[in-house]
Structure 1
Amino acid sequence: MTSVAVIGGGIGGLTAAACLLQAGLDVHVYEQASRLSEVGAGVQVSPNASRILHRLGLAGPLAATGVKPLAWHQRRWDNGRTLLRAPLAEALEATYGYPHYQMHRADLLDALVGALPPERIHLGHRVVGLTDGGDDVDVRFAGGQRVRAGVVVGADGIHSAVRQALFGADQAHFTGCVAYRGVVPAERLGHLGLEVTAQIWLGPGRHFVHYFISARRLINFVAVIEQDEWTRESWTDRGDVGDALAAYAGWHPQVRQIIGAADETFRWALFDRPPLPRWSRGRVTLLGDAAHAMLPFMAQGAAQAIEDGATLSACLRQLPPVAALRRYEEVRLPRTSRLQEMSAGNKTRFHLPDGDAQAERDSQMAEGSRSWSFNALGWLYEHDAGETSLTAHGSRT
Structure 2
Amino acid sequence: MTVRDLSVAVVGGGIGGLAAALSLLDAGIDAHVYEQAADLREVGAGIQVAPNASRILHRIGLEPVLARIGVRPGHWHQRRWDDGRTLLRTDLGDAAIEAFGAPYYHVHRADLLAALAAQLPTERLHLGHRLTAVATHDDRAEARFANGTTVTADAVVGADGIRSAVRAALFDRDRPQFTGCIAYRGLVPADRLAHLDLPVEAVAWLGPGNHFVHYYVRGGALFNFVSVIDRDTWTAESWTEPGAVADVLAAFEGWHPLVREIIGSVDETFVWGLFDHPPMARWSDGRVTLLGDSCHAMLPFIAQGAAQAIEDGACLAACLAAAPDDVPAALLRYERIRLPRTSHVQGLATTNKQRFHLPDGPAQAARDAEMAQGSTDWSFKAIAPIFGHDAAVLPET
Band the TM-score falls in, shorter-chain normalisation: over 0.9
**What displacement does 1:103 show?**
0.4
Of 101, 105, 130, the match for 1:101: 105
Contact 1:84 1:369 in 2 (8 A): no
What TM-score does the superposition give when structure 2 sets the normalisation length?
0.97
Query: Per-residue CA shift, 1:273-311, capped at 9, x if unaligned?
Result: 110011101000000000101101000000000000000
**What displacement does 1:369 show?**
7.1
Query: Per-residue CA shift, 1:47-86, capped at 9, x if unaligned?
Result: 1111101111110000001000011100000111101101
What TM-score does the superposition give when structure 1 sets the normalisation length?
0.97
Indicate the residue corresponding to 1:342 in structure 2.
348
- Counterpart CA distance in 1 for 2:56 and 2:285 is 26
> Aligned residues, how many?
391
Of 354, 358, 368, the match for 1:352: 358
- Counterpart CA distance in 1 for 2:177 and 2:126 is 32
Of 326, 332, 335, the match for 1:326: 332
- Counterpart CA distance in 1 for 2:179 and 2:127 is 32
Indicate the residue corresponding to 2:21 in structure 1.
17
Indicate the residue corresponding to 2:61 in structure 1.
57
Indicate the residue corresponding to 1:258 in structure 2.
262
Whichever residue aligns with residue 8 of structure 1, its letter is: G
- Counterpart CA distance in 1 for 2:220 and 2:24 is 32
- Counterpart CA distance in 2 for 1:339 and 1:370 is 14
Indicate the residue corresponding to 1:191 in structure 2.
195
* SS at structure 1 position matched to 2:180: strand
Whichever residue aligns with residue 380 of structure 1, its letter is: I
Q: What does 1:26-37 align with in structure 2 at a 5 Å threshold?
A: 26-37=30-41
State the percentage of identical aligned residues: 62
- Counterpart CA distance in 1 for 2:29 and 2:104 is 29
Indicate the residue corresponding to 1:168 in structure 2.
172
Q: Please, which runs of 5 or more residues in structure 2 have no aligned partner?
A: none
Q: CA RMSD in A?
A: 1.2
Q: Please, which runs of 5 or more residues in structure 1 have no aligned partner?
A: none
Query: Per-residue CA shift, 1:75-134, capped at 9, x if unaligned?
Result: 000111101101101111111111000000111111111221000000011101112122
Quick check: 1:119 aligned with 2:123? yes
* SS at structure 2 position matched to 1:215: helix
Query: Per-residue CA shift, 1:187-229, capped at 9, x if unaligned?
Result: 1111111010100000000100000000100000000001111
Quick check: 1:315 aligned with 2:319? yes
Quick check: 1:302 aligned with 2:313? no
**What displacement does 1:169 show?**
2.1
- Counterpart CA distance in 1 for 2:97 and 2:135 is 45
Query: Per-residue CA shift, 1:229-269, capped at 9, x if unaligned?
Result: 11101000000111111111111111111111111000011
Contact 2:42 2:109 in 1 (8 A): yes
- Counterpart CA distance in 2 for 1:11 and 1:62 is 14
- Counterpart CA distance in 1 for 2:18 and 2:24 is 10
Contact 1:86 1:371 in 2 (8 A): no
- Counterpart CA distance in 2 for 1:161 and 1:381 is 31
**What displacement does 1:373 show?**
2.9
- Counterpart CA distance in 2 for 1:206 and 1:265 is 17
Contact 2:140 2:154 in 1 (8 A): yes
Whichever residue aligns with residue 117 of structure 2, its letter is: V
Indicate the residue corresponding to 2:83 in structure 1.
79
Whichever residue aligns with residue 379 of structure 2, its letter is: S
- Counterpart CA distance in 2 for 1:71 and 1:220 is 16
* SS at structure 2 position matched to 1:179: strand
* SS at structure 2 position matched to 1:334: helix
**What displacement does 1:371 show?**
10
Name segments (4+ residues, structure 1) moved above 4 Å: 369-372
